[in-house]
Amino acid sequence: MPLAAVPLKVKSEVVGVLVLHNQPGVIYSEEDAALLRAFANPVATAVENARLYANTERQRGAILAMGNTLSEPLTILDDLGNVLVSNRTAQRLLNTNMSQFFDAISSSVGRTIEVQIGEETYLSTTEHVPGVGTIAMMQDITYVKKLEKDRSEFMHMLSHDLKNPLMAVTGYANLLERTETLGEKGKRFLDEINVAADRMLDMITQLLDTVAHEELIRLAQEVVDLQEIVAQVLRDTEGAALPKAIAVTAVTEGTPYKIHGDNLRLYHMILNLVDNAIKYSPDFTEVTVTTVYGDDKLIIRVADEGPGIPEKDLPHVFDKFFRGIQEGLASKGSGVGLAAVKSIVTAHKGTITVENRPDRGAQFTVELPSDMRVNR
């Protein structure tokens, strides 16, 4: 036999041929061929591994080249947490803040969260892709957070600067009320001054409250009786409802139970929703506050019989300073109340939604988690 050749196979696929050339005067036997076939198995495996490694490196190079076109951090890890690919931005974070970087990746699996890495703030999203690995993407929002902080400080300062002279106006108006020299016309003008000043003070107070809600809300941990809160809200909104002949009613479904939360903030949440419903409802209609005590969640619904909310405005009703226009109704306000409501709901780990009812009117729905329940 002048030479011997055997195919290199991996899982029935031929990945090459192993050829052994003879030396002059040497004849290979069948035993030599059998030995060559046995030697071919590890050689075939080595060839296949080398080919796979080369393919992997080519793919890694292509992914890295694409990743480096991104200005945001991109990282791909294997199932053991080893970094397979990281673009330049991600590599910079790895080199300077490795611990915080990996904490951000592990904390954002299957969701998007805000993380702090060094002096920078990112939105981090991590997803596991079968057969590929774990892909982590981050978006630098440091500049956005700085703008939000600057705006918050500016609004806080502006609100206080507006509030101080208004307090002086109302103070002098109160002094004028005590004088006996004002005629009927003067008293009427003074009443208009007080009404306008009170409205402005209310708007500024809401503005300050919203600025405060933009920051981290520290909730008081108290035992809350929502039945009492709803009853108090109905009493406190009676003055706004009576002139419009609006009936505000409370409905309870399920067996009431108490929850852990912040009494004052939950009161303001429901008060704002009911006050908003009264404000946008026509005369001789009804506002209903429904509390549903379920085993898995607690639901609070506030529904009115007004014209509803324009479809184009529905996605924006919880945006800060947004005020839509409801047809046929005129109402003054700062547009910050519902943003504050959402902040309170979020701080209680709940959700809030709004929809137009099929018949007429809008309905706000707050859902609070069952783990808030006392002595569950």
What is the pLDDT confidence band of residue 331, given thresholds at 50, 70 and 90?
Answer: very low
Percent of the chain residues topping a pLDDT of 90? 19
pLDDT higher at 49 or 234: 234
Question: Over the stretch 190-232, which tens digit does the pLDDT of each residue have?
Answer: 888 887 787 777 777 766 666 665 555 567 778 999 999 999 9
Task: Check pLDDT > 70 for residue 334.
Answer: no
> Which H helix or E strand runs over 42?
helix 30-67
Report pLDDT for 65: 67
Question: Over the stretch 253-298, which tens digit does the pLDDT of each residue have?
Answer: 999 999 998 888 899 899 889 988 998 899 999 999 999 999 889 9
Report pLDDT for 355: 92
pLDDT higher at 215 or 181: 181
DSSP strand E in 118-256: where? 120-129, 133-140, 222-224, 247-253
Report pLDDT for 234: 93
Residues in the chain: 376
Burial (CB < 10 A; 0-12, 13-18, 19+), residue 141, is middle
Report pLDDT for 333: 44
User: Is the pTM above the cut of 0.75?
Assistant: no
| Alpha carbon distance 168, 174 (integer Å) | 10
Report pLDDT for 282: 92
